Structure 1
Amino acid sequence: MIKHHRKFNSCCLYLYSICHLNDGRTATVPRYDGLSSAFVTIVKKEGVRGLYRGVTPNVWGSGSAWGFYFLFYNAIKTWIQGGNARTPLGPGLHMLAAAEAGVLSLVMTNPIWVVKTRLCLQYSEEHVADNKRYKGMVDGLLKIYRTEGIRGLYRGFVPGMFGVSHGALQFMTYEEMKNRYNQYRNLPIDIKLTSVEYLTFAAISKLIAAGATYPYQVVRARLQDQHRTYNGAWHCITETWRHETWRGFYKGLKPNLIRVVPATMVTFLTYENVSHYMLRPAADIKLPS
């Protein structure tokens, strides 16, 4: 089941990236009538392999991003709570802890996301210079650094900073739902929940955060695209609004939700179960005889 989900997630990753860049004005960007049309067209032109562009940096990026995020978030949250996990923080402090964790994670992982985006968007190599053709993640990192410097590796960083609100909103919603749910049941806020409850809270929080903050992802992806140049985030925003109105900021939302919601549910469920197991007192862990 996990194996099939990873394959489907990888396919949606490419479609989601292409939809971001489909502004209707750039001739080299493939245009699709919908998700099913995109699947069929890509397979016909590039084979099944075409659906898996950018998988390696996405695995590296997602793994490192989630790892850094949980690390920083829990460290900041524990510091605010003074070491007492049963101290409720409230929406404001939850958002503050998540926002700080998001900024730190973005600094660490932005170069990986730049390479991921560009690998996904190698849809036309006929008129592309050699220094903009990437064989893989390491090759992409080296070429971008050599030709564009550190600045190239941090393209999209400004809208990414605005995107910190996505993680802050998601974690605040997730934590507040868990806390209110346990308070309603007159139980400690750090008590372990069932798998269904974790999955439900994770899905709802992701849907709310994605719907509220999705436009920044479109702007960020377009700034990172090697086929088009903008003079900054504001220029990208004004051009998108001028030619596509508000709909341009929500392109690719459907494949994005299909990709990220199940992944988020699995990630949060795994994290909660592993963290509860590791934080159990040693006396509660029965060693095999």
Structure 2
Amino acid sequence: MTAKKEKPIHSLIAGSTAGAIEAFVTYPMEFVKTRSQFGGKRQNPMSIIRDTLKTQGVTGLYSGCMALVVGNAAKAGVRFVSYDHFKGMLADSQGKISAPRSLLAGLGAGMMEAIFAVTPSETIKTKLIDDAHRPNPQYRGLIHGTASIVKQEGIFGIYRGLFPVMMRQGANSAVRFTTYSTLKQFVQGTARPGQPLPSTITFGIGAIAGLVTVYTTMPLDVVKTRMQSLEARAQYRNSFHCAYRIFTEEGILRFWTGTTPRLARLVLSGGIVFTTYENIIKVIGGRSP
């Protein structure tokens, strides 16, 4: 596939905007997924929604939302800039990049976003959701929650679960970008040679990329959520110990807890992110010759 280089500033603008829009639109699904992955009594997605609406109202489904919106904007910006940078580095002399190299570029982009954006925002979001479910919540919002976490646990408190986040984001981006790029190349090469793809087809390809991503990376997502919960320090020594306890005490299927809401979110988010990104790039003329 040919590597079309984006201007870094345009990749950053388009990626950040796409990430913020996607996070806000799909947040209730993220909330339900995170709640379902905590230890204790299992709840299906509909009962979580019903209980939250009953006790906290619609705003309850947006507990921790701003942490994810800010983090998702930063994440998507870092992801697209990093992916395009690595893609350019790995392209051959004719500007073409193979599927394995695209996978490697996606893996690198995922690692970058995990370190610089995802881990802090995911940790704060997870703790805010966990705290909001308690009888006497201690956090009053994003800023107060972040300050309290840093005060209680130090700066490493917002980097809880870094290893599983890096593994998840690396796998996420590698699978997502490779699936998206391969399908896009196939459609452009067969059904619409030499023509730009309409938003409906871009959305569909992005949604399929999200579907593939969910099932391959779900266990990493569950370990990540457990490691970022309020009880993590008392229950788990590290990510491997966490995974071992889940497997031995709760069974292998527990690793796919929250698949339905995450599937709904990532299929929708894949379509939203790639469609928004491609359209903003078209508007601002972001591709370098």
Larger radius of gyration: 1
Counterparts of 1:159-198 in structure 2, within 5 Å, are 159-163=164-168, 164-185=170-191, 187-188=193-194, 191-198=195-202
| Closer/same/farther in 2, CA of residues 242 and 43 from structure 1, 3 Å limit | same
Deviation at 1:197? 1.4
Q: Distance in 2 between matches of 1:236 and 1:281?
A: 44
Q: Distance in 1 between matches of 2:165 and 2:213?
A: 14
Deviation at 1:186? 8.0
Deviation at 1:5? 8.8
> Could you tell me whether the CA contact under 8 Å between 1:165 and 1:213 is conserved in 2?
yes
| Closer/same/farther in 2, CA of residues 5 and 95 from structure 1, 3 Å limit | closer
1:44-81 alpha-carbon deviations (Å, 9 max, x no partner)? 22222222111111111111111110111112212333
Give the TM-score, by structure 1 length: 0.83
What amino acid maps onto 1:119 in structure 2? L
Deviation at 1:246? 1.4
| Closer/same/farther in 2, CA of residues 271 and 219 from structure 1, 3 Å limit | same
1:121-156 alpha-carbon deviations (Å, 9 max, x no partner)? 111144x7xxxx322222222222222223222111
Residue 10 (structure 1) aligned with residue 27 (structure 2): yes
Residue 52 (structure 1) aligned with residue 62 (structure 2): yes
Residue 241 (structure 1) aligned with residue 247 (structure 2): yes
What amino acid maps onto 2:50 in structure 1? V
Residue 136 (structure 1) aligned with residue 141 (structure 2): yes
Q: Distance in 1 between matches of 2:286 and 2:35?
A: 45
In structure 1, the residue corresponding to 2:140 is in which secondary structure? Answer: coil
In structure 1, the residue corresponding to 2:96 is in which secondary structure? Answer: coil
Gaps of 5+ in 1: 25-30, 283-289
Deviation at 1:98? 0.9
> Could you tell me whether the CA contact under 8 Å between 1:23 and 1:240 is conserved in 2?
no
Deviation at 1:216? 0.5
Deviation at 1:280? 7.2
Deviation at 1:158? 0.6
Q: Distance in 1 between matches of 2:280 and 2:61?
A: 32
Residues paired across the two proteins, number? 263
Q: Distance in 1 between matches of 2:92 and 2:179?
A: 22
> Could you tell me whether the CA contact under 8 Å between 1:171 and 1:205 is conserved in 2?
yes
> Could you tell me whether the CA contact under 8 Å between 1:54 and 1:117 is conserved in 2?
yes
What amino acid maps onto 1:209 in structure 2? T
Q: Distance in 2 between matches of 1:269 and 1:166?
A: 18
Deviates more, 1:41-50 or 1:4-13: 4-13
Deviation at 1:7? 6.9
In structure 1, the residue corresponding to 2:109 is in which secondary structure? Answer: helix
Aligned to 1:43: 53
Gaps of 5+ in 2: 1-20
Percent of pairs identical after alignment?
25
Q: Which has the higher contact order (CA 8 A, sep 6+)?
A: 2
Question: Which of 105, 109, 134 is the equivalent residue of 2:113?
Answer: 105
> Could you tell me whether the CA contact under 8 Å between 1:156 and 1:224 is conserved in 2?
yes
Question: Which of 252, 259, 262 is the equivalent residue of 1:253?
Answer: 259
What amino acid maps onto 2:226 in structure 1? R
Deviates more, 1:211-220 or 1:260-269: 260-269
Aligned to 2:214: 210
Aligned to 2:227: 223
1:190-215 alpha-carbon deviations (Å, 9 max, x no partner)? x5211121111101111011111111
> Could you tell me whether the CA contact under 8 Å between 1:23 and 1:248 is conserved in 2?
no
> Could you tell me whether the CA contact under 8 Å between 2:23 and 2:72 is conserved in 1?
no
Aligned to 2:5: none
